[in-house]
Amino acid sequence: MENNLLTCKNCKQSKPVEEFGLDRSRKTGRHPYCKVCRRAHSVKRYAENPEPTREAQRGRYAANTETMREAQRWRTLKYQYGLTRDDWNRMYESQEGKCGICRKDLPDKINTRGEMRNSACVDHDHETGVVRGILCHDCNLGIGYLKHDEDLLRAAIAYLK
């Protein structure tokens, strides 16, 4: 590892160490092929024979369904709303585990996609993306159907009186 450079065994180019994936089993601590070559090899191998990869994926998913769903929920919250697990927990605790509107107990599940009915939903401003709080599914639908419009919400309240 001269001057923090490694030579890829495939393309024979000297590249910065960061261009090689970690591999603790090797003396250098890095994989012998650069990330670009490893990716190209994986893509080629999958294109030639995708079934072993698909079978391995199915096996991993079947063995860890709940864990994988849970991990996907947190990735989705981070991607869509910028919320980490700690952010979610702080919000949940600040609302005492209750919906921000109706104050009913929130379900343990987080709504990302598919599992809507018994899920807690992240309420956010659709124009700015700012997260306002956590709502139950019904309240989230209610303000959604009223287009998050305060005038429509006031009109609905007046109508109910």
The CATH number given to whatever domain includes residue 119 is 3.40.1800.10
> pTM (2 decimals)?
0.62
Domain that holds residue 92: 82-160
Same domain, 38 and 105: no
Q: What is the DSSP letter of 17?
A: G
Res. 45 pLDDT band, cuts 50 70 90:
very high
pLDDT computed for residue 2 by the predictor: 55
**CA-closest candidate to residue 138, choices 104, 92, 96:** 104
The answer to whether the beta carbons of residues 131 and 123 sit under 8 Å apart is: yes
**Which pLDDT tens digit goes with each residue over 64-77?**
888 888 888 889 88
- Residue whose entry in the numeric block shows the structure tokens 């700012």: 130
Res. 156 pLDDT band, cuts 50 70 90:
very high
Same domain, 19 and 53: yes
Residue 115 has pLDDT above 60, yes or no: no
Same domain, 122 and 55: no
Q: Quick check: is 151 in a domain?
A: yes
Alpha helix stretches (DSSP H) within 27-149: 35-48, 51-63, 65-81, 85-94, 137-145
Q: Quick check: is 67 in a domain?
A: no
Q: 3-state class of 83 per DSSP?
A: coil
Number of domains in the chain: 2
26-41 average pLDDT score: 94
